[in-house]
Structure 1
Amino acid sequence: MNEVLTSPKSVTVDPVTVAVVQGALENIAVEMGYRLMRMSYSSIIRESEDFGAGLVDAEGRGLAESAQSTPLQSGPIPGYIKGINRIMAERGETVRPGDVIMHNDAYSGASHGPDVAFMVPVFHGDRLVAWAGTTAHHLDIGALTPGSCGIVNAIDAYAEGLQFKAIKVYDEGRKVMPVWNILRDNIRVSDLVVGDMEAQIAAARIGAKRFEELIDRYGIETLEAACTGAMDHAERLMRGAIAALPDGDYAATTYIDGFLDSDDPGRKELPITVTLRVRGEEIEVDLTGTARQVDDAPINMPLVGTADIAIWLTIRSVLLDTAVHGHIPVNEGLTRPIRIVAPEGCLANPIFPAPTIARFCPGNQLADTVMKALAQAAPEQVSGGIGNLKVIAFSGLNHGKHWVHMEIFEGSYGGRYGRDGMDAVDTLYANTRNNPIEDIETHLPLRVSRYELREDVAGAGKWRGGLGSIRSFEYLGDGAASVEGEGHGFAPWGFRGGAVGKPAELCLHGVAGAARELPSKVPHMPIAAGERFECLGPAGGGYGNPLERSPEAVLEDVLDELISRETALADYGVVVSETLDLDLAATEKARGERC
């Protein structure tokens, strides 16, 4: 295995050079991301931006990540490298120039199996100095049913698809054809998936080339010293933000649906518990009290790659909001003051081979729980409870060939100090985009028959929660689907007197018009031509007393048809006349009667 060395001599670098190098690293990561988007075949990467790109040093310390990618993809890249380093050391294998390593082991840094990474090493002479890597969510990974989301009935890690543990797909520049043959022979829609993988490699190679150019420009000693300086600067920023919080213990619990239609209480309505212990410039995040892992259902969250990213992202976003602090360098330094405690065998630290492929929504709920705990220490820096997400894996056969489409149904944010919650967006660590209707209907046997905001359900507050969306998908031919979601059983929490939000709903409308309500998780099932999914997105929780909301803001929501006149009166004590005029005298009286 390659020896990881530090710079041969101590070099002092001024702050300007540190900032310039950090900016250059970030630009490299962004270029990698855009190249991957433009070269990809599938809409999950090209349109949804469910990918990551980043630079990591030889030890696995994150240096920079692509700003336009999702935190759940870029954030785990350092963990991938640490897992690769460990596995290759155990095997006695060596990384050489020209190698490309494929990795998706959920228990060695990867977020889950469908998020496959391709890592390209960067050498200076004979010394491994860094890695350039890309990750992406792939449409299929060879699991028991089509697609790579919506697989909610895998009994263990082996049922979730192909596992790649630090596998060379290029060996000193030579393509390892047996590996590529395995990929093509064992993955549905392999043309799309393998095409996306080749795009990942090309983007990672660009990143490695650009890093080598930085070495040529600055010299390896100066470059490494600047990277160390950038990490130290990020650490100081995080420590300063933590020090501004009052010392104390702050605990919160939320719940995930699990499998609401199950008769087993160990598979549904499961708690996620977070205790934040703030001491000076450091935070301990203790997940004791979180439900134990579900041994035979894939809603468990890998500690490294999912749970840690949910925690780091939430703390970073709340305490170092860029709207307040400006640009924040995202590297390993931000995580140094944060310690995570997660009991082995709980949902957020499962034991192999517990399945993890459906960890997406539970992980987002963990992020929401961290924010709920932080709300006690930083009440004006958080939002009310978020409306969680849903993914439907649409699939079918067309003349013997599979088609697969992954659609992420957006959630919503809760109200926040001074602002209403954001409507119909992916939340917290997800940050992906929805697919344009034109793209869906051009490439797939699906028709989007409805897409609009879900009105009259936002959590009431001085600043109301965000609205979810309503989206309907009709099958133009026989096919199938599976569903992975959250937030049907529990409403997003309100804060400081704000009302709770509205849970999500999902219906399957038959050809004859009959509707069947579905839970948040649905195993693979056949769908007939003409049948239609209707997804009602969740509404975020409210922030602050609804009776303190500006009557003019309530009227504006009525005029925009976001809430009804009846809701304006019932939730806010605001009287809007039949001619849609604001009656301030009647409003003052209505509110006075409730005080």
Structure 2
Amino acid sequence: MRQQPSVGPAGDQAPKSTPVTFTDPVLAAVLANRFEAIVREMTNTVLRSARSVIVSNGRDFSCAIVSGDGELVSVADGLPVHTFNSHMQAANIARLHPDLAEGDAFIDNDPYRGNTHPADQTVMVPVFVDGEHLFTACAKAHQADIGNSLPTTYHPFAKDVYEEGAIIFPCMRLQRNGRTIEDVIRLGMRRIRVPEQWRGDLLATLGAARIAERRLKELCREHGTARIKTFIKEWLDYSERLMASRISALPTGHMDVSSTHDPVPGFLPDGIAVKAVIDVDPDAGEITVDLQHNDDCVKAGFNQTEATARSSVMAAIYHSLGTGLPRNSGAFRRIKVLLRENSVVGIPRFPASCSIATTNVADRLVNLVQSALAGLGHDIGLAEGGLCMGVNSGVISGEDFRNGGRAYISQLTLASNGGPASAFADGWGTYGIPAASGLTYRDSVEINEIKFPMIVDHLRLVPGSAGAGEHRGGLAVETCYRVREGTMTVVTNSDGQLFAPQGVLGGQSGALGASYLVHEDGREERIPGFGVHVVRKGQALRGTTNGGGGFGDPAKRDPALVLRDVCEMRETIERARDTYQVVLTENATVGTLAVDAERTAKMRRLEVI
């Protein structure tokens, strides 16, 4: 921090003619953590008070604090796909509402003006201190239903926003003078299939934003508005310097890379090509990712919004560069993302559908950038993470016979994909999907069985499904569930069933995902990754997720780790021998396995030490 005169005691305001700067790095660290603590309190509020399973159980929501002049200040542990664009969304308040005032609150899920996709609904509260709009508190929650023409939070088959059918609130005023505008509530209650669930989640996010408003005002009273404003400026500048320093330690790199999303029969027979040109400039301390060479928007729900395209790149770079980098607008200054209008990976042109903009292509983009950066060496980057959203993440709906046929709808997060391996560790076993960075939770089986008329038959890891490597990927998970009575509609939109997550630097790809309809007689029918499936009593859905990609040559993996994986049923003896080149022998007396060091060394063509 620069050594210049500071403000007076805590709570005092410096005269307007006196520049205010920091001299105390300890206080700066304290304030940075105070902002994170406020975001965490917002998060706990939503987690404990939301109505839907996807928010209160799956934790598919995020909170953030944005400065009044549009800089992202703090996100704590929010999902990157949600939070890395919060400042873009908050900017709509002042632009669309020149009469902005104390006591206002806004609701926004407009994918064409800074939001992620229509199913992510954000409540924003402008925070005024001494009459000045100093902050905006943002709480975004994924909706189990947003009024789509199909009973699903995602609509992969929508040719445009009209066929999609989602109700869109384009930064509408939700409260004035602290009083709720009931017209907005009535509109949502009429259009949503589960109106009370939607209203409960809305109140939870509104409550979180109002708590942030209260805490931010308290913080300004405690330390003085001038000191807080100075902290924000210098904290963002400091964050920029940290990011520039981290990038300056990398080698110069130019990468022209591409990946492919699975085909969608009848809509996208060739899949979707995802392309990126990446330039790492250590002298300038910048990384530029050019996404302008991607195809035009498609007539389906896969189009990226500007927010998700930018956030996916940011997430991949943060994944790759290691820990300790603040996630705010200051650090973002060193990452340039180049987009073009009307591109499937860019800025959508109305009325292109962006229904599944937070997953699918976004996940491919995260994987593409982080795996490309691994090619630079220097122990950065990651392999590709699992991105399958099959029956384990399907959106279930129907009528519950247990309460008079009342309608239900919810997205499952029963199982997780295997995470990507890195230069330092195996892939995370509860990774989720790349765009969520492992921050969503897996559903409780028991809560789902209580809430919905379903039975989960099993949930288990799939041995040998991880991408092999010096560090292996996380394992795929298999799940199977059925309906208790009547029928259940399940909508799926799963990538990763044809093109698997790739390994890097000699690492192998993770397992493909798969989905099956299990008939009453036990016969299994393979079903597409994308579809609307009606499951009747006596039938079940079974599916596996992806394993994560491996990092490095499998033949360099520590044999003791291979032995451990086999003993824990994460790997098979056959893969240990054929893939990892590790020979295991069994002691028939005690029934245990051990590494045959001599034969393993011979197989790996190494000298026995």
Question: Structure 2 length as normaliser, TM-score?
Answer: 0.90
- Mapping for residues 571-586 of structure 1, pairs under 5 Å: 571-579=579-587, 580-586=593-599
Matched residue SS, 1:80 = helix
The partner residue of 1:331 within 319, 324, 328 is 328
Aligned to 1:367: 366
1: CA distance, partners of 2:526 / 2:550? 27
* 2:65 paired with 1:55: yes
Q: What does 1:132-531 correspond to in 2, within 5 Å?
A: 132-149=137-154, 151-158=155-162, 159-259=164-264, 261-262=265-266, 266-279=268-281, 280=283, 281-294=285-298, 296-304=299-307, 306-319=308-321, 321-322=322-323, 325=324, 328-349=325-346, 350-359=348-357, 360-390=359-389, 391-398=393-400, 399-408=404-413, 409-430=415-436, 431-477=439-485, 478-522=487-531, 524-531=532-539
Q: How many Å apart are 1:17 and its aligned residue? A: 3.0
In the TM superposition, 1:35-50 aligns within 5 A as: 35-50=45-60
State the shift of 1:578 in Å: 4.8
- Alpha carbons of structure 1 residues 258 and 344: separation in structure 2 relative to 1, 3 Å: farther
Structure 2 distance, partners of 1:561, 1:314, is: 31
Alignment correspondent of 1:4: none
Equivalent-residue separation in structure 2 for 1:530 and 1:381 (angstroms): 49
CA contact (8 A) 2:319 2:382 kept: no
Paired amino acid for 1:187:
I
- Amino acid corresponding to residue 273 of structure 2 in structure 1: P
Over 3 Å counting, the alpha-carbon distance change for 1:591 and 1:75 in structure 2 is: same
Aligned residue for 2:5?
Answer: none
Whole-Å separation in 1 of the counterparts to 2:185 and 2:424: 53
- C-alpha distance in 1, partners of 2:474/2:516? 22
**Structure 1 segments (4+ residues) deviating >6 Å:** none
Q: Give yes or no for contact 2:367–2:383 (8 Å, CA) kept in 1.
A: no
Residues 1:81 and 1:417: Cα distance change in structure 2 (over 3 Å) = same
Of the structure 1 ranges 37-46 and 424-433, higher mean CA displacement relative to structure 2 is found in 424-433
Query: Displacement of 1:378 after TM fit?
Result: 4.0
CA distance in 2, matches of 1:211, 1:340: 31
Deviation by residue 1:319-345 (Cα, 9 ceiling, x = unmatched): 1x22xx4xx432211100111112322
CA root-mean-square deviation = 1.9
Q: Indicate how the Cα distance of structure 1 residues 153 and 9 shifts in structure 2: closer, same or farther if over 3 A, else same.
A: farther
The 5-angstrom pairing of residues 16-31 of structure 1 reads 16-31=26-41
Answer yes or no: is the 8 Å Cα contact 2:65–2:135 preserved in 1: yes
Q: 2 CA distance for matches of 1:8 and 1:97?
A: 27
TM-superposed deviation, 1:251: 2.6
- SS where residue 319 of structure 2 aligns? helix
Tell whether the 8 Å contact from 1:453 to 1:468 is kept in structure 2 after alignment: yes
Whole-angstrom CA distance in 2 between matches of 1:512 and 1:83: 56
Q: In 2, distance between residues paired with 1:248 and 1:119?
A: 39
1:125 Cα deviation (Å)?
A: 2.9
Contact 1:33 1:66 in 2 (8 A): no
- Contact conserved, 1:257 with 1:520, CA < 8 A, in 2? no
Distance 1:9 1:505, change over 3 A: farther
Offset of residue 436 of structure 1: 0.8
Question: How many angstroms apart in 1 are the aligned matches of 2:318 and 2:605?
Answer: 41
Secondary structure of the residue aligned to 2:395 is strand
Tell me, in whole angstroms, the C-alpha distance in 2 between the residues paired with 1:272 and 1:155.
20
Name the counterpart of 1:75: 84
The question of whether the paired residues in 2 share the 8 Å contact of 1:387 and 1:411 is answered with yes
- In the TM superposition, residue 586 of structure 1 has moved relative to its aligned partner by 2.6
Change (3 A) 1:269 1:338: same
Deviation at 1:257, TM superposition (A): 1.0
Amino acid at match of 2:368: T
* Amino acid corresponding to residue 352 of structure 2 in structure 1: A
Per the TM alignment, residue 10 of structure 1 is displaced from its structure 2 partner at its CA by 3.0
Q: What do residues 486-534 of structure 1 show as CA deviations (whole Å, max 9, x unaligned)?
A: 1111122121222222111111112232222122221x33221232111
1:337 & 1:210 partners in 2: Cα distance?
30
Report if the CA contact (8 A) 2:262-2:498 is conserved.
yes
- Tell me how far apart the structure 2 counterparts of residues 114 and 414 of structure 1 sit (CA, whole Å): 27
With 151-160 and 390-399 compared, the bigger mean Cα shift is at: 151-160
Shift of 1:16: 3.0
Answer yes or no: is the 8 Å Cα contact 1:22–1:329 preserved in 2.
Answer: no
Distance, in Å, in 1 between the alignment partners of 2:83 and 2:328 is: 11
Counterpart position of 2:122: 117
* Aligned residue type for 1:519: P
CA distance in 1, matches of 2:46, 2:233: 28
Give % identity: 27
CA–CA separation in structure 1 for the residues paired with 2:577 and 2:124: 57
Report the alpha carbon displacement of residue 183 of structure 1 after superposing the two structures with TM: 1.0
Q: Residue 267 and residue 355 in structure 1: after superposition, are their counterparts in 2 closer, same or farther (change >3 A)?
A: farther
Report the secondary structure of 1:169's partner residue: strand
Q: CA deviation at 1:74?
A: 2.5
Q: Is the 8 A contact 2:85 2:114 kept in 1?
A: yes
Q: Distance in 2 between matches of 1:172 and 1:227?
A: 28
Shift of residue 161 of structure 1?
Answer: 0.6
- Give distance in 2, aligned partners of 1:9 and 1:135: 38
Once the two structures are superposed, what CA deviation does each residue of 1:149-186 show, in whole Å capped at 9, x if it has no partner?
Answer: 3x221221232410101111111222211111111111
Q: Give the Cα separation in 1 of the matches to 2:597 and 2:328.
A: 52
| Residue-by-residue CA offset, 1:58-111 (whole Å, 9 max, x unaligned) | 1221111132x32222222212112333333xxxx4111111100000011110
Distance in 1 between the 2:388 and 2:510 partners? 14
Is the partner of 1:131 in helix, strand or coil?
A: strand
Go from structure 1 to structure 2 and tell me whether the alpha carbon gap of 1:365 and 1:9 turns closer, same or farther (over 3 Å shift).
farther
Q: What is the one-letter code of the residue matched to 2:238? A: H
Question: Structure 2 vs 1, CA of residues 582 and 16 (structure 1 numbering), >3 Å: closer, same or farther?
Answer: closer
The alpha carbon displacement at 1:400 in A equals 4.8
Q: Does 1:100 align with 2:137?
A: no
SS state at 1:418 partner: coil
| Alpha-carbon distance in 1 for matches of 2:350, 2:36 | 35
3-state SS of 2:136 partner: strand
Moved more, 217-226 or 421-430: 421-430
Spell out, residue by residue over 1:400-435, the C-alpha distance to the aligned partner (whole angstroms, 9 max, x if none): 531012113421123221322222421433121111
Assess, with a 3 A threshold, how the Cα gap between structure 1 residues 76 and 235 changes in structure 2: closer, same or farther: same
Write the distance in 2 (CA, Å) between the matches of 1:517 and 1:11. Answer: 66
